[in-house]
């Protein structure tokens, strides 16, 4: 592991449930990222709406719609596909969340912070 990798136990993420936030100091003092599980796979993004630079979750870790089919921005209601971060509805339609490379192996989720551009 490099020092720019965050490691989580796989069991902390349930499909369509709360995500896990983590700090992204390279993007600013208060910047965060998050990881969620969707259809069995982990996906990580910078926690910033593609519409305006605000965090998505309305309560810490609450990123999914009530139907658990999209990630939602709590401020303006933008809907993002959990598997690729593409905005399908709302003021940022056609834009995407900034993805962070994530892999899962040996019951661990590895978030590669060097993949943030």
- Report the distance separating Cα 106 and Cα 108, nearest Å: 5
pTM of the entire predicted model: 0.94
Cβ atoms of 97 and 78 within 8 Å: the answer is: no
Task: Tell me the CB-side half-sphere exposure of residue 49, using CA atoms within 13 A.
Answer: 23
Residue 3: the pLDDT is 65
55-70: b (≥16 Cβ within 10 Å) or e? bbbeeeeebbeeeeeb
Domain of residue 12 covers: 5-115
Give the count of domains, the chain.
1
User: Does residue 65 contact residue 49 with C-beta atoms inside 8 Å?
Assistant: no
Q: Round the CA-based radius of gyration of the chain to a whole number and report it.
A: 13
What pLDDT is attached to residue 1? 43
CATH number at residue 104: 2.102.10.10
pLDDT in tens, the chain (117 residues): 446 999 999 999 999 999 999 999 889 889 999 999 999 999 999 999 999 889 999 899 999 999 999 999 999 999 999 999 999 999 999 999 999 999 999 999 999 999 987
């Amino acid at each position: 592991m490099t020092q720019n990798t965050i490691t989580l136990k796989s069991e902390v993420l349930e499909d369509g449930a709360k995500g896990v936030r983590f700090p992204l100091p390279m993007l600013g003092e208060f910047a965060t990222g998050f990881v969620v599980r969707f259809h069995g796979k982990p996906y990580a993004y910078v926690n910033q709406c593609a519409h305006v630079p605000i965090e998505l979750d309305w309560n810490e870790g609450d990123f999914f719609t009530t139907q658990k089919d999209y990630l939602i921005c709590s401020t303006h209601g933008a809907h993002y596909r959990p598997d690729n971060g593409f905005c399908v509805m709302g003021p940022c339609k056609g834009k995407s969340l900034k993805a962070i490379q994530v892999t899962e192996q040996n019951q661990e989720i590895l978030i590669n912070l060097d993949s943030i551009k």
